[in-house]
A and B are shown apart, each in its own frame.
Chain A
Amino acid sequence: MAEGLEVRELDSDGSSEELVLTPAQLLRSLEQAWLNEKFAPELLESKSEIVECVMEQLDHMESNLKRAKHGDLKVSIHRMEIERIRYVLSSYLRCRLVKIEKFFPHILEKEKSRAEGEPSILSPEEFAFAKEYMANTETYLKNVALKHMPPNLQKVDLLRLVPKPNLDSFVFLRVQERQENILVEPETDEQREYVIDLEEGSQHLIRYKTIAPLVASGAVQLI
């Protein structure tokens, strides 16, 4: 069961390398992605490779269990573990879906302007869902109200209609890798900006915007 799993990850400099994760490490990555997604105000980059690998593990385990004999204590322990993993997986994907539905025009706009080679924030399945959601909502608004309005008012920009994620919101985080010289912007005109160092293991309350790149790179974990 403990054979390595290959997950391709992109480095901060954009080059990709093969990472081999053990199933236990894979679960940890899923949990980190889950917590980050839960606390970040915006939709984070899709971790669809981790999701796929975890699903494979679950399917594999399920089919093993089908062959196992009934009444085995072992089987029930495996079942409990499967339930726990499936919960994290579902909660993670659900959390993303909620954000996609909440911010769809902005997410699709970002996807449109994404540079070649830059990783997508949506999995292909999420992208398909977001497009359908947008089309469905546009059609609805048009049929019920907009097409009955004066000719110069029949077009609305969903980007202006649907609120944007608030990147200025505050988040709690724990530092995984030491960071130096993080610039903290002042809150009021009387204050001055200053820099802080983030020591490994320390915890902070700060604006999401300030540390968003560190969430993406895995240097900090939202809590």
Chain B
Amino acid sequence: MFGERAAELVRGLHRAADGHLPAFNEDGIRQVLEEMKALYEQNQADVNEAKSGRSDLIRAIKFCHCSLLRNRRCVVAYLYDRLLRIRALRWEYGSVLPNDLRFHMSSEETEWFNQYKKSLATYMRSLGGEEGLDLTQDMKPPKSLYIEVRCLKDHGEFEIDDGTTILLKKNSQHFLPRWKCEQLIRQGVLEHVLS
């Protein structure tokens, strides 16, 4: 049946949970493109015959054209929906993606992703003063400024806001201003203890 493979592309992606990125279906795309090529060539032949009087072919030609349009629509929908998922990954994981996700992207998708990262970085740098504004930070409303943290490794002395110094020793727990420890949390020195 015409269009079956194209519909399967879309269905496959639809089955994957929201935000999940399945492996790029290169084979599926290739098959649809081949089907389109065959359909087009067949149709060209019919068009030529129709021109020389076979007016009974006109309906078949129209149908064939619709099939081609539908195949294109499915392929583009598949590719575009994947871009939207890849875009979301940038906001979820930052600019370096985990390996298993990168293996699910085609080389052209990686290229699109790199260009997207570049545009986004240029945009964010252009905001405000010299350093710009990193919009991938501050994703949630700031909550109580002091948070409970646990030390995951020895880090040594650390000066906090009110001038006092504390010793960040492995497994010790502290009650610290959030903005002071955000970076250490990202570096894996501290861990936020959720009460």
Contacts and interface: CB of A to CB of B under 8 A. Distances in A.
Task: Note whether A and B contact each other (Cβ less than 8 A).
Answer: yes
14 contacts: A55-B129, A70-B159, A70-B163, A71-B162, A71-B164, A83-B138, A83-B145, A90-B135, A141-B80, A144-B79, A145-B76, A145-B79, A153-B69, A153-B72
Contacts of A19: none
Contacts, number: 121
Interface stretch (A1-9, A129-137, A174-182): A129-137
Nearest to A154: B72
A115 interface: no
Nearest to A133: B119
Contacts of A58: 128
Interface in A118-145: 125-126, 128-129, 132-133, 136-137, 140-141, 143-145
Contacts of B122: 128-129, 132
A101 B87 contact: yes
Contact of A141 (B36, B79, B126): B79
Chain B's interface: helix, strand, loop or mixed, by majority?
helix
Interface in B118-148: 119-120, 122-123, 126-129, 133, 135, 137-142, 145
Given A70-B162, A137-B83, A153-B68, A125 B119 contact: no
A114 interface: no
Interface in A133-191: 133, 136-137, 140-141, 143-146, 148-150, 153, 156, 161-162
Contacts of B109: 140
Given A55-B127, A91-B138, 10 more contacts: A70-B163, A84-B142, A137-B112, A140-B79, A140-B108, A140-B111, A145-B33, A145-B79, A149-B33, A150-B68
B138 A125 contact: no
Interface of B: 29, 33, 36-37, 40, 68-69, 72, 75-76, 79-80, 83, 87, 106, 108-109, 111-112, 115-116, 119-120, 122-123, 126-129, 133, 135, 137-142, 145, 159, 161-164, 177, 179
Contacts of A149: 33, 36, 72
Contact of B161 (A71, A83, A89): A71
A125 B161 contact: no
Contacts of A75: 161
Contacts of A202: none
A143 B111 CA distance: 11
Given A70-B161, A133-B119, A136-B112, A87 B76 contact: no
In the complex, the 9 A-B pairs of residues with the closest C-beta atoms, listed nearest first? A71-B163, A55-B128, A150-B40, A71-B162, A132-B119, A83-B142, A129-B123, A125-B126, A90-B138
